[in-house]
Amino acid sequence: MAVIGLSIGIALLVILNALSLAYHEAARAPLKEIGADVTVQRPGNVPEELSGAVFPCSAVTIKKDELDRIGKIPGIRGVGTAVLLWVFEPNRAWIALGVEQENPVGPSILKNFVAEGRYFEAGKPEALVESAYARQFGIKLGDSVSLAGRSYPVVGFVDASHAAKIAVANLYLPLAEAQAIAAASKPLQSVAPFGAGDVNLLFIRAEQEKITPVAAALKEILGPKTAVATPDSFLKLLGSFFALSDKFTLVASLIAILIAVLIAFKTMAGNVAERAREIGVLKAVGWTNRNVTRQLLAESVAQCFIAGIVGLLIAFAAAFTLGFMTVNIPIPWEMSPTPHFLPGGGTPLFKTLRLPVGIPGTLALFSVLLSVVIGGLTGTLLGRHISKIKPSEVLRHE
């Protein structure tokens, strides 16, 4: 009973923490797949008339001097930039994303998702088109697409369905081209002045423990209305108890382990009380209090160690089962803005993934050590209490 009670407590402790870690890990996924820990967008206005190149209302100009200051924030390990444009042509609307030629942080990772053709060559005004969009509109490799009065040869198709869900477009250009289009757009300039070297999307890789202060520093530089997306902000969107609060996990874990300890203690105390006669015999034949205490301690530690291992096995089985659960992480419209009037424009976007439930070695080790400590404490307390039994008292009433 003591082993079962403690096993269940340990299993609950491990699985609660594993679930919490899994939701935290899942919340990192939308940003991780674009190579970032933080994304930054500054909301602003859109021109009254949507024609030519404009910025979405969720991502307006981030100035070059602001970029320079951001690069100096402690804890930042890398910065990726992009320019996201809505370009309204007489016969077609494009969502165009200007990406850097090479950068492990940000949408340059699209290089790995070229399904057909090739990626841009450095310095050349070329375009990549999203595969599904190309199929829908019959665009072929080698065709030219016209954008804000400029012509770009299509050199490749990108399978965006397997790429990131953030900053999704249907046309991808070299960053310099997108910057040039933005700078030349009068409607855009009228609401969000845009200069050389400016961008409107930032992707930041930061030291994990410094993400929160980095996010605060970003808001300080770019203003309080700036949308700074972090793993924590995605965690809040998940809405799970495990995702919402580390305190919930902590409190639930403590309650689980406390109940388990009480069950273990009560059961073992009951067992030991039932063994009072046996302990009386041990003392009668020459066992000292220390001998008895050590024996009970060894038994208690062994029982609790076994309970810890059993609990861990239960937790592994539960983690394996929970690993089949899928989790849908909502991607805010602002992070992948599509004009509502375009097909699919208002469709909510989700990053769907299997819940990455795993039991880290440290958690497993902690749970087994905790079991042993519980066994040690229980055994010591009970041993001290029971070793005070006088053999004559328990053997007298035969």
Partner 1 sequence: MNNAILVGTGLTKTFDSLTVVKEATIAVGDGEFVSLVGKSGCGKTTLLSILSGLERPTSGSVTIAGKEISTASEDELALFRRQNVGFIFQSFNLIPTLTAWENTALPLFPVSMTEAERRRRATEILEKMELGHRVDHLPAALSGGEKQRVAIARALINDPKIVFADEPTGNLDTATGDAIMAIVNRLHKEQGMTLLMVTHEPELAKTADRVIRMQDGEVLA
- By the criterion CB under 8 A, which residues form the site for partner 1? 277-278, 281-291, 390-392, 395-396, 398
Please check whether residue 190 is in contact with residue 182, taking contact to mean a CB–CB distance below 8 angstroms.
Answer: no
Minimal distance in Å, beta carbon 288 to partner 1?
4
Minimal distance in Å, beta carbon 6 to partner 1?
21
Q: Which is nearer to partner 1, 69 or 294 (CB)?
A: 294
Report residue 49 as tokens.
């008339």
Minimal distance in Å, beta carbon 293 to partner 1?
11
Minimal distance in Å, beta carbon 316 to partner 1?
31
Minimal distance in Å, beta carbon 387 to partner 1?
9
CA 199 to chain CA centroid, nearest Å: 26
Please check whether residue 38 is in contact with residue 215, taking contact to mean a CB–CB distance below 8 angstroms.
Answer: yes
Q: Which is nearer to partner 1, 282 or 312 (CB)?
A: 282
Please check whether residue 60 is in contact with residue 43, taking contact to mean a CB–CB distance below 8 angstroms.
Answer: yes
Dihedral Cα 228, 233, 234, 235, nearest 10 deg: 160
Q: Which is nearer to partner 1, 51 or 291 (CB)?
A: 291
Helix pair angle (289-322, 246-274), 10° resolution: 140
Phi, psi for residue 144 in degrees, rounded to 5: -110, 140
Report residue 317 as tokens.
């089985």
H-assigned helices in the chain: 2-32, 64-70, 131-137, 175-184, 186-191, 211-222, 231-238, 241-244, 246-274, 276-284, 289-322, 361-386, 391-396
Minimal distance in Å, beta carbon 357 to partner 1?
40
Q: Which is nearer to partner 1, 247 or 396 (CB)?
A: 396
Q: Which is nearer to partner 1, 18 or 394 (CB)?
A: 394
Minimal distance in Å, beta carbon 307 to partner 1?
19
Minimal distance in Å, beta carbon 397 to partner 1?
10
Minimal distance in Å, beta carbon 393 to partner 1?
9
Q: Which is nearer to partner 1, 72 or 397 (CB)?
A: 397
Q: Which is nearer to partner 1, 45 or 288 (CB)?
A: 288
Q: Work out the number of other CB atoms within 10 angstroms of the CB of residue 123.
A: 9
Q: Which is nearer to partner 1, 61 or 303 (CB)?
A: 303
Compute the distance between CA of residue 301 and CA of residue 347 in angstroms, rounded to an integer.
57
Compute the distance between CA of residue 173 and CA of residue 182 in angstroms, rounded to an integer.
12
Burial 299-333 (b: 16+ CB within 10 A, else e): bbbebbbbbbbbbbebbbebbeebeeeebebbbbb
What type of residue is 169? A
Q: Work out the number of other CB atoms within 10 angstroms of the CB of residue 365.
A: 11
HSE-up of 282 (CA within 13 Å, CB side)?
19
Helix pair angle (231-238, 211-222), 10° resolution: 100
Q: Which is nearer to partner 1, 245 or 380 (CB)?
A: 380
